[in-house]
Structure 1
Amino acid sequence: MGFTRIGLFSITYILTGSLDLFRGSLKGLLRAFKGKGDLEDWVNRCHALRDELIDLAQRRVLAQARGYPFRLLSIELAQQRTGAGTTFLRWRKHDRSAMGVALWQEVMASTATPVNLLEDLLALEQQRIALNMQISLLHTLGRQAQDCAGKMAQAEDAYLRRLKSIPAAMHDR
């Protein structure tokens, strides 16, 4: 099973590298946004990195989880698309009759699960948890920035409406 742990550790390294790309943007969160355009740019960066993580989950984590020996288990790791428009990794039965971390816990507790697979299953579950958290955070940051951009646009519209109602000669007063 050694190849499995090495693969999961390399995924952690890849994730860390992806997040390094976003580090400057996270610092940028604490700066003053000059308007709707700055926020919309930040929204796009959040969503792009979120989508990269989802792609990474599909290409690396799911590919490994669907391979030998994991494919012999009574459960599988799968992507679940949410109504909010993002995707998370979830454990489910092959027949899709049940879903959730309780299934993973049952496999871990089962004496039918080979002892030499337990550490790999732990690493896979920890990677799933971390990826889901990162995807959720990026999605939430993007959504909040989008809401903020909308409010800034409304504030600017109110300002411009008021300016239009004032005679031009009065603007400097």
Structure 2
Amino acid sequence: MSQTPMTIRGAEKLREELDYLKNQLRPRIIEAIAEAREHGDLKENAEYHAAREQQGFCEGRIQDIEGKLSQAQIIDVTKLPNNGRVIFGATVALLKCDTEEEIRYRIVGDDEADIKEGLISVNSPIARGLIGKEADDVVVIRTPAGEVEYEILEVEYL
């Protein structure tokens, strides 16, 4: 199996979710199932079936997170020497050339991406176009809306 890149923050968030699912949600679901069983006939017991369904979702998510963490290649960009190149985990300040708008993105793993937070997937068109470039480079990114030109203002390893 191939490893999937992930930042330290991304791995921490997954571990926190895993801890919540295993130590808080799972016991509550087990308790709800036990309580619903006490109501008698399981065939027509909506509470029981709802709790069992929730248990299935919870266990599925636990397996999903454990699988992702086991395949993760955790990269701490702060421990790498900043040679000015855009790499996985770097924070990049960009200038959108046509509108003069400044944008900041951090390049992260697929599971960490959240455009509202400025976190873009390493597999996104923008990140693929930026990887390997340096400050003051101008890059043209193909997007669904057409080609967009960006100037790289700054590359930070935060």
Which bin holds the TM-score, normalised by the shorter protein? 0.3 to 0.5
- Larger RCO, structure (CA 8 Å, separation 6 or more): 1
* TM-score, with length taken from structure 1: 0.32
More strand by share: 2
TM-score under structure 2 length normalisation: 0.35
More helix by share: 1
Query: Which is higher, the Rg of structure 1 or of structure 2?
Result: 1
